[in-house]
Every structure is written in C-alpha cells, then in structure tokens.
C-alpha cells in the first residue's frame, strides 16, 4: 500500500495547494469530468484546500445520470416482457423512468437481476437457453470494451439468447455540449485517466484548440487531482490551451 499512501500524502497535498494559491491570480472555474474524480474530491476535501475564487464544478461523468429517459423506459419495457431476463448493474435499478423503475418491475414479478459484469449476464444466458437474456449496457468508454467482449464471446460460443441494450456514451461529445452552451463558464477541464487509457487523449486536442480551454488528464488520488488543478491553472494564467498528460 506504500504507493497509494504516496498519492495521499498530507504534506504533499498542502504543498500543491500552496502552489495553486500562488499561481491563481484571478477567479477560474475548472470542471472534473469523471464521477470518480468528484468522489475523491469530496471524500478528501480537496475543494476545501483550494484558494477562494478557484471553483471546481462536477461534470457529466456518471453514466447513470446521463442515460436518456427514453432508454430507461426501453429497459423497463424489455424487463416487463415474459420470457425475458434483464441483467443490469445495481445502480440502474432505482433510476426512474416515466412511470416506474426497474426495481418496481422486479417487485412486480419481472426477472431483473443485478450482475457485476456483462460476462455474468452471458453466463446466465448460457444457463437458461429458454429465456432471452438482455444486458443493459451503460457506460462511457471504459465499459465499452468489456461489453463488446461479452457480445463477441456470445457469438463465438453460439449463444443465441443473449442480447444487449446499448446505452453507451462518450466523454468528448459531452464536453463539446458544455463548451458550446451560451451559459458555459468552464475555463478548463480535468480529464479522467482511465478513459484516456482506453481511448487516448488525442480526441481532446480539437476541443482544447476550438474552445481555447486547457484539458489536463489526471488520476483519482488527492495528489493526482491537485497536480492536475495546478497544471490547469498554470495554463489559464499563461493564456495557453493545451492537452497535458502528466
């Protein structure tokens, strides 16, 4: 655990916070994109370490929150059918549709099952060939590879009763929507390291150039995030708008 502790070093966090305070000469608003980053910021009180005038706002990084209502309704309709087993991650069960949620469908007798991976849903399909098993595939770029692998394995194994309701979304278009809004006040972004591990960070470069905003890739530990804020502030103060991957 030594390496985790290094990224949670209180003295190092205070040094980075002090450097941010020295670098920021005017108000700035920085958005962290990922819900995992938001969780760490709140858990470790990172926002409270920042100087007055420097604001962190929470971005659209929770795939549950950005799933359209019509897609939730479609999942509910599928789960309500006879002979269908709908498999989903647990956090989707309480998301309200137009009239009810998946948990209500389950209480009414629908076969709604919580799984921890799409491969779990594929195993259920293999064990129940008389039922149509549908996996509710929700997520950003980070979940897409695993979901695609489940589809590939289903085809490879000849499992014909497995299908997927795809609700995948991508981070760059969400950022583009924010930056294109007339009410946008975001000056810079902290991009999520695990998304960039899947897709790279080149897709952010046109956004940075078009909208003149710095985008800094960070991890999910306190020192990662504080270092990202420092680099973002340094760019803003210098009038630069680049993608940085520390």
pLDDT tens column, 190-224: 998 888 888 888 989 999 999 999 999 998 899 99
The whole-chain average pLDDT of the chain stands at 91
Residue appearing with tokens 């692998």: 149
Predicted confidence (pLDDT) per residue in 90-145, tens digit: 889 999 999 999 999 999 999 999 999 999 999 999 999 999 999 999 988 888 88
| This model's pTM is above 0.85 | no
User: Predicted confidence band at 39 (pLDDT cuts at 50, 70, 90)?
Assistant: confident
For the four alpha carbons of 235, 236, 241 and 245, in that order, the dihedral sign comes to positive
Give the pLDDT confidence score for residue 141 in this predicted structure: 81
Residue appearing with tokens 């921890």: 116
Give 195's contacts (C-beta < 8 A, 6+ positions apart). Answer: 33, 34, 140, 141, 142, 171
């Amino acid at each position: 655990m030594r390496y985790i502790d290094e990224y949670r070093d209180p003295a190092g966090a205070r040094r980075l916070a002090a450097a941010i305070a020295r670098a920021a000469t005017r108000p700035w608003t920085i958005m962290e994109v990922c819900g995992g980053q938001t969780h760490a910021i709140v858990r470790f009180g990172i926002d409270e370490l920042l100087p007055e005038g420097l604001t962190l706002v929470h971005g659209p990084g929770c795939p549950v929150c950005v799933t359209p209502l019509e897609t939730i309704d479609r999942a509910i309709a599928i789960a309500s059918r006879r002979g269908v087993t709908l498999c989903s991650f647990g956090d989707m069960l309480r998301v309200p549709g137009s009239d009810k949620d998946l948990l209500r469908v389950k209480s009414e007798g629908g076969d709604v099952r919580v799984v921890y991976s799409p491969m779990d849903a594929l195993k259920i399909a293999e064990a129940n060939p008389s039922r149509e098993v549908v996996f509710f595939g929700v997520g950003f770029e980070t979940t897409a590879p695993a979901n695609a692998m489940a589809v590939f394995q289903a085809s490879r194994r000849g499992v014909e009763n497995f299908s997927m309701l795809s609700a995948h979304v991508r981070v760059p278009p969400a950022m583009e929507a924010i930056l294109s809004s007339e009410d946008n006040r975001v000056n810079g972004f902290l991009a999520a390291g695990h998304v960039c591990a899947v897709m790279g960070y080149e897709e952010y470069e046109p956004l940075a150039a078009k909208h003149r905003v710095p985008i800094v890739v960070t991890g999910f530990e306190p020192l990662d995030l504080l270092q990202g804020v420092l680099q973002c502030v340094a760019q803003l103060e210098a009038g630069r708008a680049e993608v940085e991957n520390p």
